[in-house]
A and B are shown apart, each in its own frame.
Chain A
């Protein structure tokens, strides 16, 4: 059990920190909330391209896949230093942490050749088409139909929902039903499709927090090229499960640093409002839990455990975040009632609280996670 960076990783951390400081826009304020345009525009394109040129995208990918062949520790360092500098979460994180590794496992040489570079240099933004109106917790109930087209390739009909990033994405990776009459895990295919084509319609969902992070995506004969099926047709479930394996781990890295920064703001706010003594025990309870989240993430990464262990961390951090944001609203008090007014440092919390409520739903509800823990880790009977 060792937490400190090995000497070469510590040196790498210092160089990454310098790189970030040298490439952020002048007058960068890590505390300032970004507009959507800044996040998607400058950070989506220029910053991603810069990361690629600086060797910070795909650091742990093999060299022949366009990466730098470094270790997971180096990847952790990059994500942590980004978070420390207040750089927003990458808009292409799904592609970088999930699609890339999945293509390395299951993709054809041609797919790797055509898609990996665009993931690394930020020229192709990706979204994930898994959930459907009738396939939420029960992913194997996917219904979107992919039919062979007379002119070659496939045509896609149906609907995806809760699709983050869809409105901006250039491409989608999706789990679809390719064998008519098949059910459950059989007859599914994992496909890649161009979002900027006729037959794909994206409708943003207006959420309770006033934002539209999620979308509906409708397919009406959208084209899927034959060469863009990942793995064997009909074997999509296995590919999707490989991908969900990659969802664990790195997605957590850096989040605890952002939460810690929020907690610092909250301590300052409570102090300024003269209520720190009353809230200190609960604030420090959250501080300890954020640190536990960091340690649990390190353990997940160090042990490289398969599947269900990730459910433990998912349940823990999402519920912890909700407790933190609920506490924040209490501390802000009546000032949390206005969406925009005159004191942003107090008014920002209600929106964050509302947003946190989606976290125990997205990516597998807490109930599903608990079933997985009980049945697959503890061996309780079904």
Chain B
């Protein structure tokens, strides 16, 4: 048992932070191009679960304006053959239908519409969940939607009887497990960033003639965030170790996703409280991380979905 990051893993993580930080503020197409260049993403994908989730954590910390979990981790895990050159989106409501119609598969074709879907504008192929199968579809009509999270684009994707190819059954599990684990990792990164910002703010913002971070009430908010962040990290590494082991990883992934979603949301709301009014302005970056967490808490199964899966594992 060695539940710690080794030097190689730390280097990969540092390189990712450097790259993602350099991409801050770049336009979306440039980011997508840069990530695809020189096979950088395929290297991450080939490096195994631990590196993949450490890099996803950095995407969260940096607030990378790219759907990293959906397109760099989940889609390639489910359909490794499709490659990065032609971007692949995920059109699957993983959290139950909630008033939407399911996609239909009939006579080799997929029909219907999936929304909301997080993807880049350049997606040319889709992984579509229709019935209980996951299909590859190369034609989807993308209609833009308005996302709360400003770091991604959101779509309604319509399939008008597009030719579809069914993936093996385990592709759906891979999509969910890798997607959920990576979403947990991105939330961990975003939560860490919110904690870092809150600590900086508490050290420098003065009221009553002293930094607000000297007040125990504020200290305890920050301590609570730290406890949440470090326990989230343990759960994400647990999911990484399980995915890397090659054994079924569903339980470890569901633990991480069901733990990290609510924990990250608590970190985010606490961060806003520590920042005070400035954190409620659009101008301040806090809301971008908060909204990334709100989104990822829902994607690839929310806490309720993953807790239900844990209960099924008992029966």
> How far is B220's CA from A369's CA once the two chains are assembled, in angstroms?
9
The distance from the CB of A92 to the nearest CB of chain B, in whole angstroms, is: 25
Given the known interface contacts A1-B237, A380-B202, the answer about A289 and B1 at a Cβ–Cβ threshold of 8 Å is no
> How far is B275's CA from A296's CA once the two chains are assembled, in angstroms?
28
Q: Of the 9-residue stretches A118-126, A185-193, A279-287, which lies at the interface with chain B?
A: A279-287
Contacts of A295 in B (CB 8 A): 3, 234-235, 237-238
Is B5 an interface position by the 8 A CB rule? yes
By beta carbon, the residue of chain B nearest A315 is: B227
Contacts of A9 in B (CB 8 A): 1
Q: Which bucket holds chain A's interface residue count?
A: 35 or more
Contacts of B308 in A (CB 8 A): 280-281, 284
By beta carbon, the residue of chain B nearest A314 is: B227
Given the known interface contacts A284-B311, A312-B230, the answer about A5 and B255 at a Cβ–Cβ threshold of 8 Å is no
> How far is B184's CA from A105's CA once the two chains are assembled, in angstroms?
41
The reply to whether A76 and B1 contact each other, CB–CB distance below 8 Å, is yes
Contacts of B142 in A (CB 8 A): none
The reply to whether A289 and B259 contact each other, CB–CB distance below 8 Å, is yes
The reply to whether B219 and A280 contact each other, CB–CB distance below 8 Å, is no
Q: Mask for A209-233, Cβ within 8 A of B = 1, else 0?
A: 0000000000000000000000000
In chain B, residues 168-218, which have Cβ atoms closer than 8 Å to a Cβ of chain A?
195, 199, 202-203, 210-211, 213-214, 216, 218
> How far is B307's CA from A367's CA once the two chains are assembled, in angstroms?
30
> How far is B252's CA from A315's CA once the two chains are assembled, in angstroms?
23
The reply to whether A291 and B1 contact each other, CB–CB distance below 8 Å, is no
Is B222 an interface position by the 8 A CB rule? yes
By beta carbon, the residue of chain A nearest B304 is: A281
The reply to whether A267 and B2 contact each other, CB–CB distance below 8 Å, is no
Query: B: which residues have CB within 8 A of A?
Result: 1-6, 9, 50, 195, 199, 202-203, 210-211, 213-214, 216, 218-220, 222-224, 226-227, 230-231, 233-235, 237-238, 240-242, 244-245, 252, 254-255, 258-259, 303-304, 307-308, 310-311, 314
Task: List 10 A-B pairs, Cβ < 8 Å.
Answer: A2-B2, A3-B1, A288-B310, A292-B238, A295-B3, A299-B3, A303-B4, A309-B230, A367-B220, A370-B220
Of all A-B residue pairs in the complex, the 3 with the closest CB atoms, nearest first, are: A374-B219, A284-B307, A370-B223
Query: A: which residues have CB within 8 A of B?
Result: 1-6, 9, 73, 76, 267, 280-281, 283-285, 287-289, 291-292, 295-296, 298-299, 301-303, 309, 312, 315-316, 367, 369-371, 373-375, 377-382
